[in-house]
Amino acid sequence: VDATAVDGGLWAGVAGPRDHVIVWQSGGFSSTALRAVGDAAAASGMRAVVMDRASVASIGVQRDGEWVRRVTPGWRVQLSAMGIDPLGAATVVGADVAAVIADGDLVMSARSAALRNAEVGDDLLLVTTSGRTVRLRIGLIAPDRRLRGSEVVLARSVAAGLGVNRPQTAVLVGEGPADAVDELESRLPNGFFRVLRAGDPPLPNGVLSSVGLKELLGEVEYRPTGGTSVALDPDWVASSIVSETVPIIGRLTCHRDALAAFRKAMVEIEEAGLAGLINPTDSRLNGGCFVPRLVRGPSGGFLSRHSYGIAIDINPSTNRFG
């Protein structure tokens, strides 16, 4: 680093930033894709840091053995979680995060902590897929942007014990060549990948993060009822979900705060003369809007946005995934 003396006895310098490339795949990487990411990193002189992403179920927060926030017994709330190797975490989410998860504690995002009045030193009580309760100490509360959209971050080995073992995102870090993205994309198998380089603008069709959804619509309690089906807190359903008629599709059951947007979208389609492209019966009955369930497929067990009543599947019988 070339440093220059400035006023007050301080020295200032500018270093060349370390480049990074982000690649992720909805549903998680296949073994072939994961190997391609590692090969591309090696060929570009970079290092691949892999992140596992999935949901974890929580029954509340305790401080000194007393409940700070507790869900209704028999129910749970869902948090988005990331598992990452502490050795690679420093370059991706910060050295302080890496140090905390290396000690076996977890890091919680500031906005998620605010939702449950959590503080450093509190215990987050989680439920494993087998129904066992696990208590983990909150060792750090960090800005959400640092945690890349996750509400909690854990060491990869700890996360795996909670069922968070789905590699979905990889960050290639280092002083790679300018064609690092081309190198990566040339090695990836066919599939629905997204590749971003440092400095690229955000995706225009991004969706709200998990915590953003909760801030907008409330953190709904749920319980599994078999397969991908879930039951939702009946009080939340009563205050949030309504049935109204929208153009083209007809009567639709959705979240009350989403209906105005759905209605406007249908009006725009109608005014563009494209209403004939929509099968209203298929969209209403087979797609629907409010359907309490988890996301289908290898999705990490997240509540579907249909559970919140904020998604519509158009022509689902012919308009398949992808």
- For the chain, state the CA radius of gyration: 22
User: Which two three-digit tokens encode residue 8?
Assistant: 């007050």
* Helix (H) or strand (E) segment spanning residue 255: strand 250-255
In angstroms, the CA 12 to CA 38 distance is 36
Q: What angle do CA 163, 77, 204 make, to 5 degrees?
A: 80
Helix (H) or strand (E) holding 14: strand 11-14
Per-residue pLDDT of the chain (322 residues; tens, 9 = 90+): 444 544 555 555 444 445 578 888 878 888 888 998 899 888 888 889 999 999 999 999 999 999 999 999 999 999 999 999 999 899 889 999 999 999 999 999 999 999 999 999 999 999 987 889 999 999 999 999 999 889 999 999 999 999 999 999 998 887 776 677 777 888 887 776 777 776 677 766 778 889 999 999 999 999 999 988 999 999 999 999 999 999 999 999 999 999 999 999 999 999 999 999 999 999 988 878 999 999 887 667 899 999 999 998 899 999 877 6
**What pTM does this model have?**
0.86
